Amino acid sequence: MTSSKAFLYLVFFSSFHFFTVFSTQFTVGGEKGWIIPKDDQLYNEWAAKNRFKVNDTLTFAYKKDSVLAVTQEEYEKCKSVHPIYFSNNGKSEFKLDRPGLFYFISGVSGHCERGLKMIVKVLEPASPPNQVADHTTGPSTSGAAQLINVVGVLVVSLFGAIFI
Ligand SMILES: *[C@@H]1O[C@H](CO)[C@@H](O)[C@H](O)[C@H]1NC(C)=O
């Protein structure tokens, strides 16, 4: 096989892995976006179907509405005086900057009560497979471990490309 083909394989495999390691952008609710749903659990069902990692971003697309990131208590009350995050520009981007739970509500009166709200769970950064049983290294190694992971896949895809 030609070297240009090998290069394409390399780019394909490494970029594929790059996106799985680094960040993903999700459009909340898919094509419909952030609108009052028919089913008041629609957004939690959408969130449950996805796997969110630290540094993934959520895009909220809507017209004449807003997005607030709030505490659990405020989520339950559908009301927030000082939200953690507020946006009403029609295309809000929110970065999931830590593991754990995030609570979102609409800031428009009555919309949250009608189901325009969502809980997102962000997973703890994953350990690479060869370190699953070893918890002594702590989270500070995860960046280096991810890099090793990327390099490993690069090497594997290079060999794959040469021998295909
Ligand atoms: C998230 O992004 C920040 C800043 O870009 C970076 O320092 C951090 O290591 C990233 N975290 C993960 C888990 O990718």
pLDDT of 135 over the 90 cut: no
For residues 56 and 151, which has the higher predicted lDDT (pLDDT)? 56
Lowest-pLDDT range, 15-19, 33-37, 112-116, 120-124?
A: 15-19
Atom of ligand 1 nearest to the CA of 22: 14
Task: Name the phi and psi angles at 73, rounded to 5.
Answer: -60, -45
Q: CA–CA separation, 92 vs 67, rounded Å?
A: 7
Atom of ligand 1 nearest to the CA of 54: 13
CB of 125 closer than 6 angstroms to any ligand 1 atom? yes
CB of 99 closer than 6 angstroms to any ligand 1 atom? no
Domain residue spans of the chain = 25-122
How far does residue 23's CA lie from ligand 1's centre (Å)?
9
pLDDT at residue 22, as a whole number = 80
For residues 8 and 85, which has the higher predicted lDDT (pLDDT)? 85
Whether this prediction's pTM lies above 0.75 is answered by: no
pLDDT of 26 over the 70 cut: yes
How far does residue 55's CA lie from ligand 1's centre (Å)?
6
How far does residue 1's CA lie from ligand 1's centre (Å)?
38
Residue 42: C-alpha distances to residues 13, 16, 85, 117, 128 (Å): 34, 30, 22, 9, 33
Per-residue pLDDT band at 137 (split at 50, 70, 90): very low
pLDDT of 133 over the 80 cut: no
Q: Which CATH number describes the domain made up of 25-122? A: 2.60.40.420
**Mean pLDDT computed over 117-135:** 75
Q: CA–CA separation, 42 vs 68, rounded Å?
A: 17
Per-residue pLDDT band at 132 (split at 50, 70, 90): very low
